Structures are given as structure tokens and as C-alpha cells.
Amino acid sequence: MLKSVFFGHDGTLVNSEVEHFRFWEKAMKNHDVTLPEQQYRDLYCGVPGAKNAQMLVEEYDLPIPATQLLLEKETLTDQFLETGVFGLLPHVKETLAYFQRLKQQYPTKAPSTGVVSGAIHERIMSSLDGHHLTTHFDFICGGDEVEQNKPNPSIYLLVVEKSGAKTDQCIAIEDSVVGVKSALGAGLDVCAIRSEYTTGHDFSMATVVVNSMKEAKKWMMETYQLPRLT
């Protein structure tokens, strides 16, 4: 029986990867480096910020610590979130509304829902609040709540513990290899959603691969025999 459904955030719920690329691109331009978009898609998309900063400093031999580059990028992120929000991806609102209604109509049987992101908790909340979606989730876990971020499984082990379910009663919806590896490492089945930025990622290790949240919802309903609501 399905007890919990956990969603990634960036690239899974919100269309943020194009903005994150722009933030990294601008941060790198401050150091006279042009970051190719395809390289970002192939190597850095979905990777937690601290790891990205470390890889970029090493790749381009920047004369600054990775912490400084990360701060520059995160400052741009915060400035963006002060006045705007990342747009929702297609079919996200309908999918989350479905699980809300499921909880209302079948309170003892409906799966709980959570967000599991490599971003810090405060930024996840800011993004969800901007779309009035915070109340749709029972658990929200950010990368700053664990010692090792994705692809380490720690964050998924944390949210499973919070949910009170067993790992084989939970599934993860992710859009990047880093997220898929994290969830698989914790023992969860994973539905990988290909996005514009992750079309080149190898999702062969995922339980199933789909092309949209709509297809992910359909797979969940069929696989776990979730009821159709009228």
C-alpha cells in the first residue's frame, strides 16, 4: 500500500532550472567565464548548489573559494525570490489538488505528500508560499537539514522517518539523476520525469521514466490503484 509520495522541487514542481542556469551564468561572468548552457544541462542541472560551486571552481580554476561563488549565486536567487516566484510546471497544480482531495475523502488511506529538495528549507518555503502550495504537503525537507545532500540518500531517509512509513511504501518523483540516485539509495521506487534540461540524463536506473507530471500521476494511479475522483 502506498503511504507517501515525495516530490523533488526544482525541475519537478517548478520551472526553475532555466533561472538557476541564468544565476550561475551571471555569477561566472563576474569572473570572466562564459558558462555554456549545454554544459550546465549535462553536468550541473539538479546538483545541489554547494557541489556545483565546487565543481565550477575546479573546472575553471577560479581564484576564489567555492563558498564565495555559491554566495554570489545564492544572492542572485534571493534577489529573484524577493519579487517573483518560479513558475509551476504543467499539471503540477492538478496533481497536488488530486492528492489533497484524496486526503479529504479517504483520510485514513490516502498517502501523505512531501517535498524533498537539495535547496535550503527557507527557499523551498518561499517558492511554495508564492503559489499557495505549502498546505498541500505534510513534510518539507531541505538540503540544509542533512549533513550530506543529494545524491546521498540522507534527505530521503529523513523524510521517510518523518512520514512514519517504510521505504517500500514510499515513492519519489524526481527530474534529475542526482535526485533519482538519492531516492534509490534510500530504498524508494522512483518515477523520473524528463524535462527540457534533463533530456540527456541517463534515467535507466529509475523505476519508471515519464515525460510529464500528468504521466507521473497516471502511472501512480494505475500502479498503486489509487481511486479516480469525481
Q: pLDDT per residue over 154-163, tens digit each?
A: 999 999 999 9
* Model pLDDT, residue 200: 86
Total residue count of the chain as it appears in this document:
230
**CA 23 – CA 77 distance, rounded (Å):** 7
CATH of 17-83, one of 1.10.8, 1.10.150, 1.10.3470, 1.20.120: 1.10.150
Q: pLDDT per residue over 109-159, tens digit each?
A: 899 999 999 999 999 999 999 999 999 999 999 999 999 999 999 999 999
pTM of the model: 0.93
Q: Which CATH number applies to 4-15+86-223?
A: 3.40.50.1000
Q: What residues does each domain of the chain span?
A: 4-15+86-223, 17-83
With a CB cutoff of 8 Å and minimum separation 6, the contacts of 214 are 90, 91, 94, 95
**CA 158 – CA 197 distance, rounded (Å):** 27
Q: From edge to edge, which strands make up the β-sheet containing 208-210?
A: 139-141, 112-116, 4-7, 170-174, 189-193, 208-210
Is pLDDT at 196 greater than 90 in this prediction? Answer: no
Give the number of C-alpha atoms closer than 13 A to the C-alpha of residue 126, restricted to the C-beta side: 16
* Model pLDDT, residue 3: 97
Asked whether the beta carbons of 177 and 46 are under 8 A apart, the reply is: yes
